[in-house]
Amino acid sequence: MSRNKTILITGAAAGIGAAAVRRFADAGWNVVACDIDSSRGEAVAKEFGDRAIFIEADTRHKPDLDFAVAKAVKHFGALDSVFANAGIHRRNTLLSVTDEEFDLVVKTNIYGTVNTLRAAVPAIIEGGGGSVVVNASDQAFIGKPGNFAYGLTKGALAQLTRTAALELAPKGVRVNAVCPGTVRTPLVESLFGRIEAAGGPAADELWREENALFPLGRVATPEEVAEMVYFLASDASSFCTGGLYPVDGGLTAG
């Protein structure tokens, strides 16, 4: 009798992460949801009863991820996939970014992703192989002014994806990255709120301007990105590895 597959998802309390929890659980997967926001993370996991568990984890601290992976294997029997989704955004430039802000973005987006993969991949290999999905960005392909630290980290994740795919292919592990454009998530809502609070344009105006940038006329929903994550983690993409998959409404097409 075959068992249900299990995925560990970081940044699972809201936005793309929460949408991914729901997509995988609805498809019958077991889900280990990880986040620093325990109240919202637990609420998302509780939607699915015994198919999902929540573990509070800060991806900047590898022992948190080691614990989460061990709990996933003990609770569900094995780990088949990981979605390294946790990340943050801060608006800055090369000349304006502070040491503290640069350190925070790098530690969260790069170190956090590396910690997640270093914890999860050995368990995936032990279970017979599987898949890794990294949340990169349209900024793996293009630069955006005012996104210095964020863009730098997402470019690094694109290269991480390619290199890890080559290293892990002989071990039966596929590695791909989803590369969203702007998505209507709490992270972006918070960013636009900070811009408005600092005396910039109103958040509603920023959303109108952002929507107009995309050939399809709008930003993405978290569910649309989660659908690509599901495809990349599932057997439907069994011959895909080392790829960077845009979900950007045509933004990077020209």
**What residues are annotated to the active site?**
150
Residues 6+ apart with CB under 8 A from 225: 16, 19, 20, 178, 180, 183, 247
On whether the CB atoms of residues 209 and 176 are closer than 8 A, the answer is: no
| Residue 120 near residue 70 (C-beta atoms within 8 A) | no
**Residue 143: Cβ within 10 Å count:** 10
- Beta carbons within 8 Å of 186's beta carbon, 6+ residues apart: 14, 15
Residues 6+ apart with CB under 8 A from 74: none
